[in-house]
Structure 1
Amino acid sequence: MADIDCNLILVARTVDKLRELKQRLTMSKAKIDIYAADLRDQEQIDEFIKYIQNLPVDIFINNAGKSICRPVMQSLDRQHDFERTIKLNYLTPVQLCLALIPKLQQSKGHIINVSAVNVLFAPAVNWSAYQASKTAFDQWLRSAMPELQNRQIKVSTAYLPLVKTRMIEPTKAYQNLPALQPKQAATIISYLLQTQKRQYKPWWAMIVQLAGVLFNGIWFKLNCYYIKRK
């Protein structure tokens, strides 16, 4: 988006990387503003919302996320895992949407949620914190969509498969699996911006969804078998 005449507000935790990115885009057509914030921290979220109150907003892309793969039996004394995950993956984007909806209504704007394809599938063992939190915001946004569209706010969701970022590195099972490059994920987001379609999901997602309905009992038994083997 830096190649078009627009104003980009880039939000992330690491100020050095934001400055590096802004420097790299110095010669682009877009005006680049950066804002360093940890969106798990309530005070920092409140400060960011104050910052954008006086700015026009046409598009909100929700891309922040926290992934965690851990058995429940290893989480009995780790309540914070669930709190942090639900905070970043669900409560924070809801709060940002509530703050931005009046602005997006004025501009007839667009909300794009970068989600995960597994929220469409049957639950998987070891992913209780992550899958529940991502599904929570997906359900919230889908429930709010008719109201938002009635106010001329467009809503799109990118149900992405694995993307090769730092977030998937701690999960050993993902190391040898095919994954999108970040540029490919960015292209999908751009596609939703241009077409304003309600969603993107891989062509094979429908097959997995159907299999999850038809073979739900078998999937559950496979999860049980996996746990016993482990």
Structure 2
Amino acid sequence: MARFSGKVALVTGSSSGIGRATALLLAKQGCKVTITGRNLERLESTKQEILKNGTPESDVLVVPADLNIDAEQDNLLHSTISKFGHLDILVNSAGGFFMDSEGKTGVHQGIDVFDKHIQTNLRAIVMMTQKAIPHLKKTKGEVVNVSAIGADHHGNPQFIFDAMPKAALNQFTRSAALELIRDGIRVNSVSPGFVNTGFGASMGVSDESWNKMIDFMSSRKECIPYGAVAQPDQIAQVIAFLADRTMSSYIIGQSIVVDGGSSLVMGLDAHDLTELMGL
């Protein structure tokens, strides 16, 4: 029997990056999956990849959604339950990165940039979790949030508004875990370091500049001791571990760091990433 046979997972942000890799992995291991994001073309690409791995089409649901819109959150959950009958796993992987329109960085960015990060990277996750609780109570289900090492105790001056909601998300994970375990729901999170996703494109960075930065970071042990930037599937493996009640049953409210050792030294912040990318 497949690892997640009979389980249903809703994976947000599954049109690309970590969310996409997670949906592919869970489906390959027997899970029925709802995939969602704002880009229908990329969602269809994710679906086709899932089908290539042998998952029946009846076990994949595609629901385009902007999770900043309450009604679209509701439709996403309603569609999942209508299609599959229950929900076992919620993976909150959707997120976004927003640049200041005037090119400002750090504390000088416009407050609108702060608001966008909070809305997308914290508020939407809190609301999706709240709305999923009644369904997860019935199945004694799992919530896995995707945070980042930038949320930890060291400073993150270049990407301060991106790091702040992630730090709050870690506190939400801990606190929600303590409350929801009473209902049999486990809440945990994963904190990736540098991952080769579509992050650069969302910042308007060319492939050439993005690859230049990846090569720079990979070659410096003070940035990534492992010596390579992570691929999305490496993070997805940890998410699947946290979503597996058999493998990780006694882990409650933790954020598992998956960063190739970066947070042990944090030399990332010794370099100007915006300069490296030519921004």
Under a length normalisation based on structure 2, what TM-score does the superposition of the two structures give? Answer: 0.66
Supply the distance in 1 between the matched residues of 2:39 and 2:124 (Cα, whole angstroms): 18
Supply the distance in 2 between the matched residues of 1:193 and 1:48 (Cα, whole angstroms): 20
Aligned to 2:73: 45
Aligned to 1:61: 91
The Cα shift of 1:116 comes to: 0.3
**Structure 1 residues 206 and 150, CA, compared in 2 at 3 Å: closer, same or farther?**
farther
Whichever residue aligns with residue 90 of structure 2, its letter is F
CA RMSD of aligned residues (A): 2.8
2:234 aligns with one of 172, 175, 184: 184
Aligned to 2:105: 71
Aligned to 1:35: 63
The Cα shift of 1:73 comes to: 5.8
Matched, 1:167 2:199: yes
**Alignment length, in residue pairs?**
211
Asked if 2 retains the 8 angstrom alpha-carbon contact of 1:68 and 1:127, the reply is: no
The Cα shift of 1:161 comes to: 0.7
Asked if 1 retains the 8 angstrom alpha-carbon contact of 2:92 and 2:125, the reply is: yes
Matched position secondary structure for 1:201: strand
Q: Provide structure 1 residue ranges, at least 5 long, that are not aligned to the other structure.
A: 210-218, 224-230
**Structure 1 residues 80 and 51, CA, compared in 2 at 3 Å: closer, same or farther?**
farther
Aligned to 2:38: 13
Aligned to 1:212: none
Aligned to 1:90: 122
Supply the distance in 1 between the matched residues of 2:31 and 2:87 (Cα, whole angstroms): 11
Identity %: 22
Asked if 2 retains the 8 angstrom alpha-carbon contact of 1:40 and 1:84, the reply is: no
**Structure 1 residues 12 and 47, CA, compared in 2 at 3 Å: closer, same or farther?**
same
1:75-224 alignment to 2 at 5 Å?
A: 75=109, 78-168=110-200, 170=203, 174-175=213-214, 176-178=216-218, 179-194=229-244, 195-196=247-248, 197=251, 198-202=254-258, 204=261, 207-208=264-265
The Cα shift of 1:68 comes to: 4.4
Whichever residue aligns with residue 233 of structure 2, its letter is K
Q: Provide structure 2 residue ranges, at least 5 long, that are not aligned to the other structure.
A: 1-25, 219-228, 272-279
Supply the distance in 2 between the matched residues of 1:49 and 1:108 (Cα, whole angstroms): 17
**Structure 1 residues 103 and 200, CA, compared in 2 at 3 Å: closer, same or farther?**
same
**Structure 1 residues 208 and 153, CA, compared in 2 at 3 Å: closer, same or farther?**
farther
Aligned to 1:26: 51
**Structure 1 residues 193 and 49, CA, compared in 2 at 3 Å: closer, same or farther?**
closer
